[in-house]
């Protein structure tokens, strides 16, 4: 894509949804860290169902420690990999209490020190809570970046680096939300719904599905 095409790509996404937000539900920075950590290899819908009652009872790392690993497992047992995720959440809560006064840090370097928090999770927290211009490359963004030609790369890190370089202002703050939502609802993994995509003329994907399959 050319610079002009990239600007138009995001202009259309912004026109359609001026203020996109994560679909995860949370009330503070700590709950956001927990929700994103739980969302690995799980859907936002599934995480939200599990965390509604949890977050009604737990708002701080100290409260999570008081709930304990077994108590946490009861809340999140419907989420995949819940045993290891529970261990990580308790461990990251302990680290936040011990070294950060119970507060969520606002740098990537500190966030990735937390058990179960990788670069993607850190980028989500930095963007959604701290308003930093980060690009959290999940499977949707990886697919959309490569498929459309916006940001091609063989790894999430390569796609992130391309997005850092290519996404223009004033779109940088919301870019990763637009790309996630576009990948989740339009540029789907199995069959991209090109027939209803507003970006189809800008996209370099060679196998566009321009007619809606029968029965869909």
Active site residues: 120, 138
CB-neighbour burial class of residue 179 (10 A; exposed 0-12, middle 13-18, buried 19+): buried
Nearest alpha-carbon partner for 122 in 209, 175, 132, 184: 132
What helix, strand, coil percent values describe the chain, rounded to 5?
55, 0, 45
Q: Is 154 helix (H, G, I), strand (E, B) or coil?
A: coil
Both structure tokens of 85: 């995720």
Q: How far apart (Å, rounded) are the C-alpha atoms in residues 41 and 22?
A: 16
Nearest alpha-carbon partner for 179 in 130, 120, 122, 129: 120
189 to 59, 78, 180, 216: CA distances (angstroms): 35, 24, 12, 15
128 is in an annotated binding site: no
Q: How far apart (Å, rounded) are the C-alpha atoms in residues 58 and 176?
A: 28
Q: How far apart (Å, rounded) are the C-alpha atoms in residues 162 and 53?
A: 39
Q: How far apart (Å, rounded) are the C-alpha atoms in residues 177 and 187?
A: 14
Question: Which residues are part of a known binding site for [4Fe-4S] cluster?
Answer: 187, 194, 197, 203
Question: Which residues are part of a known binding site?
Answer: 187, 194, 197, 203
């Amino acid at each position: 894509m050319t610079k002009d095409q990239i600007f138009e790509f995001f202009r259309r996404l912004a026109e359609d949804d001026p203020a996109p937000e994560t679909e995860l539900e949370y009330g503070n920075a700590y709950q956001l860290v927990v929700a994103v950590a739980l969302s690995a290899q799980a859907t936002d819908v599934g995480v939200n169902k599990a965390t509604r009652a949890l977050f009604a009872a737990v708002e701080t790392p100290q409260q999570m420690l008081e709930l304990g690993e077994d108590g946490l497992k009861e809340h999140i047992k419907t989420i995949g990999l819940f045993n290891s995720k529970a261990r990580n959440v308790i461990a990251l809560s302990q680290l936040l209490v011990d070294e950060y006064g119970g507060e969520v840090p606002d740098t990537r370097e500190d966030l990735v020190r937390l058990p179960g928090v990788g670069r993607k999770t850190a980028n989500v927290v930095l963007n959604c809570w701290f308003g930093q211009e980060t690009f959290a490359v999940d499977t949707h963004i990886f697919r959309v970046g490569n498929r459309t030609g916006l940001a091609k790369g063989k790894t999430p890190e390569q796609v992130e680096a391309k997005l850092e370089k290519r996404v223009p202002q004033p779109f940088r703050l919301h870019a990763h939300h637009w790309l996630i939502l576009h990948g989740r609802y339009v540029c789907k993994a199995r069959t991209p719904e090109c027939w209803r995509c507003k970006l189809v003329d800008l996209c370099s994907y060679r196998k566009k599905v321009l007619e809606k399959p029968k029965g869909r």
